[in-house]
Amino acid sequence: MVRRIAILGSTGSIGRNALRVIEGLGEGYSVFALSANSKVELLAEQARAFGAKVVAITDASCRGRLVDLLGGLDVEILSGSESLAALAQLDEVDTVVTAIVGAAGLSAVLAAAKKGKRLAIANKEPLVVAGELLMAEAARSGSEILPVDSEHSAIFQAMQTGKRTEVAKIILTASGGPFLKLSGQEMEDVTLEQALAHPTWDMGPKVTIDSATMMNKALEIIEARWLFDVPVERIEVLIHPESIVHSLVEFVDGSVIGQLGEPDMCLPIQYALTYPDRLAGRARAPQLAEIGRLNFSKPDGEVFRALPLAYEVCRAGGTAAAVFNAANEAAVEEFLAGKIRFVNILELVEDCLNRHDVKTGVSLEELLEADAWARRQVSALTCST
Ligand SMILES: NC(=O)c1ccc[n+]([C@@H]2O[C@H](COP(=O)([O-])OP(=O)(O)OC[C@H]3O[C@@H](n4cnc5c(N)ncnc54)[C@H](OP(=O)(O)O)[C@@H]3O)[C@@H](O)[C@H]2O)c1
């Protein structure tokens, strides 16, 4: 059987790595559909190289250029934000790699889950915003959800060595980002350039900033809560600057099982595509004798406020995570645009959470309203500073 794959966000860091992995896997894995937001040239180049049958460009103003670039090819071209869900639901596609950044991927992920597709999920924000709805939809349709985030892939692999009822704790490792050793005071002077220089991972700008604030780990706590159905009290974060141990599961008998690998996203992407098989691929095993030493320590929740906030958000439930995520997305955009300072990101997120009246037992529409509310709040608060 040939796996026919759609990659949502094929022009980004995860999307490009997913194409490299598929190329390396060769026979048995083919690209059927691709999407981008505005990078038309790269999208057209990928569509030609991989023989995609359908492409989607969410920024509809780029459609004309894409039509020109793909002239003469037998490719269906979709455009606009709704095109993502259409792509994710194509009958010909069995596996959807979600590599879009932010909550913009939500409707497409839900659509793929409804249709019972295998979902290789890198795009964590939809799980954070609507994890309960998404997991329920997947359970109804039989959609397999396979994590691509290296930490969640490691947990998924470790989980296979025991029963769910035997899990005592999930331990998410974190590199700590570029500012691990800075004090709260030193954090005040951080520049955009410094925040974009991650010590171990090469990623898109939003997730790189999230790693520097440790919001990425905060979102991963919420992601793990939904993916593995574990109460948040049993999820811990452990600083591990070398990014070799990608995460661990502690079982009730005191055994701790982890997965080790080089910091290379090709490995978790490939495992999500080939599961339950393991195939030879691009990744090389870590050379432990060369690495010599692996370090672990507890994170400082006073400096990295995102971490304690993630636990509060999980306990509050309902709309809290949608606000947490959207406020962060909006604040990171402001930071990338040079409108606020690094430390303002978490201040804005916390401010939004404090102003928000959490609603529980909510629908998708109410989650989207909470998301939009948080974005408006960040914009208003930014203008007033
Ligand atoms: N990068 C990593 O190593 C890594 C590791 C673990 C998890 N993740 C997660 O994977 C996701 C993608 O991260 P990334 O680093 O690959 O991001 P990225 O490099 O910024 O790529 C984002 C992709 O999404 C598209 N996109 C952006 N805004 C969009 C919108 N509003 N509507 C539709 N498509 C949009 C982009 O299209 P254009 O190129 O046309 O703008 C691009 O294809 C994130 O959720 C991140 O947290 C990433």
- For 84-122, give the DSSP string: HHHHHT-TT--EEEE---SGGGHHHHHHHHHTT-EEEE-
Pocket test for ligand 1, best of 43, 101, 196, 264 (most atoms within 8 A of CB): 101
If you classify domain 3-147 with CATH, what class do you get? Answer: alpha beta
Q: Report the amino acid identity of residue 116.
A: G
Q: Which amino acid is at 76?
A: E
Burial of 365: CB neighbours in 10 Å, binned 0-12, 13-18, 19+ = exposed
Q: Give the amino acid at 72.
A: G
CA of 123 to the centre of ligand 1 (A): 7
Cβ of 101 closer than 6 Å to ligand 1, yes or no, is yes
pLDDT in tens, 81-132: 999 999 999 999 999 999 999 999 999 999 999 999 999 999 999 999 999 9
Place of tokens 């023989």: 51
Residues above pLDDT 90, as percent of the chain: 94
Mutate to test the pocket of ligand 1, among 201, 207, 220, 227 (most ligand atoms within 8 A of CB): 207
DSSP state, 234? G
Residue-level pLDDT at 321: 98
What residues does CATH 1.10.1740.10 cover in the chain? 317-385
Does residue 196 register a pLDDT over 90? Answer: yes
Q: Give the mean pLDDT of 283-291.
A: 95
Beta bridge partners of 97: 7, 120
Bridging pattern class, strands 167-174 and 245-251:
antiparallel
Mean pLDDT for 303-324 is: 97
**Ligand 1 center from residue 215 Cα (angstroms):** 16
Q: What is the rounded distance in angstroms from the CA atom of residue 56 to the CA atom of residue 58?
A: 6
CATH architecture of 317-385: Orthogonal Bundle (1.10)
Evaluate whether 217 touches 137 at the Cβ level (below 8 Å): no
Q: Which two tokens stand for residue 243?
A: 């990014």
> What is the spatial distance between Cα 155 and Cα 168, in angstroms, rounded to a whole number?
13
**Binding site membership of 328 for ligand 1 (Cβ less than 6 Å):** no
The SS3 assignment for 248 reads: strand
CB 348 near ligand 1, within 6 Å: no
* Ligand 1 in reach of 201 Cβ (< 6 A): yes
95-98 and 3-8 strand pairing = parallel
Which of 62, 82, 100 to mutate for ligand 1's pocket (most ligand atoms within 8 Å of CB)? 100
The ligand 1 atom at the shortest distance from the C-alpha of residue 15 is 16
Question: For ligand 1, is residue 204 a contact (CB within 6 Å)?
Answer: yes
Ligand 1 within 6 A of 149 CB? yes
Q: Is the CB of 123 under 6 A from ligand 1?
A: yes
| 384 pLDDT more than 90 | no
Ligand 1 and 129: CB distance under 6 A:
no
265 touches ligand 1 (CB under 6 Å): yes
- pLDDT-based confidence at 385, cuts 50/70/90? low
Q: How far apart are CA 205 and CA 336, in angstroms?
A: 8
Beta strands in the chain (DSSP E): 3-8, 29-36, 54-57, 76-79, 95-98, 118-121, 145-147, 167-174, 235-239, 245-251, 256-260
Q: How far, in Å, CA of 177 to CA of 183, rounded?
A: 14
Span between the terminal Cα atoms of the chain, in Å: 57
pLDDT at residue 8 tops 70:
yes
Longest CA–CA span in the chain (Å) reads 62
- For residue 73, count other CB atoms closer than 10 A to its CB: 14
Is the model's pLDDT at 281 over the cut of 90?
no
Average pLDDT over the chain, rounded to an integer? 96
pLDDT of 174 > 90? The answer is: yes
Q: Is 227 exposed, middle or buried, given 0-12, 13-18 or 19+ CB atoms closer than 10 A?
A: buried
pLDDT at 147 over 90: yes
Whether residue 21 has pLDDT greater than 70: yes
Rama region for 48: left / alpha / beta (φ>0; ψ in -120 to 50; rest): alpha
Is there an atom of ligand 1 within 6 Å of 19 CB? Answer: no
Tell me how far the alpha carbon of residue 161 lies from the centroid of ligand 1, in angstroms: 32
When pLDDT is averaged across residues 283-300 and rounded to a whole number, the result is 96
Count other C-beta atoms under 10 Å from residue 263's C-beta. 17
148-175 mean pLDDT: 97
pLDDT of res. 239: 98
Residue type, 322: A
* Residue 28 predicted with pLDDT over 80: yes
How many Cβ atoms from other residues are within 10 Å of residue 309's Cβ?
21
Measured in whole angstroms, the distance separating CA 305 from the mean position of its chain's CA atoms is 20
Which pLDDT score is estimated for 139? 98
Q: Torsion angle, CA of 266/272/274/276, rounded to 10 degrees? A: 130
Distance 255 CA to ligand 1 centre (A): 36
Q: Which atom of ligand 1 is nearest to the CA of 14?
A: 16
Average pLDDT over residues 285-296: 97
Mean pLDDT of 219-242: 97
Average pLDDT over residues 277-291: 93
d(CA 385, CA 379): 10
Q: Assign 270 to helix, strand or coil.
A: helix
For the chain, residues classed under CATH 3.40.50.720 are 3-147
Tokens representing 357 are: 């009246």
Contact 258, 155 (CB under 8 A): no
Residue bearing the CA closest to ligand 1, atom 35: 37
How distant, in Å, are the alpha carbons of 152, 237, 271 from that of 242? 17, 15, 21
CA–CA gap between residue 242 and residue 213 (Å, rounded): 18
**Is the pLDDT score of 330 beyond 80?**
yes
